[in-house]
Amino acid sequence: MCYTSTMTQSKFILFLSKLIISTEGPVVVITDNLSAHHGKRLAKWVSDQDKVIELHFIPSYSPELNADEYLNRDLKKNVNAKKTPNTVQEIKANVISFMRSIQKQPARVMKYFSGKHINYAFETI
């Protein structure tokens, strides 16, 4: 899911909804403590999902525990490798293209979880 405005609880719920639909079995999401990842509306939505999804939060100020940070580093390093964008639309197209290519490379995605600080993720599942 690609968006250009601020992450909100509504956007996070939309993302989680899409994740549930696209995934077989229960979904475990390990997330940081962004304010949009907390709140009464989100908590109610998660509880209404009848154990289809679980949220686990990493401690605050712990980017080394967040596999998303490794993805972000990879994205920033490679997103404009093919073509330097001149507009917001071109940046978005590059991001979507890069992320779709990542989806087809499960071994590359698993490398985001190979660091010694990320091993806990496999204990959560």
- 125 residues of the chain, pLDDT tens digit each: 888 889 999 999 999 999 999 998 899 999 999 999 999 999 999 999 988 999 999 998 888 898 888 999 999 998 888 778 899 899 999 999 999 999 999 999 999 988 788 877 777 55
Token digits for 46?
A: 């998660």
In angstroms, the CA 125 to CA 121 distance is 7
pTM of the shown model = 0.81
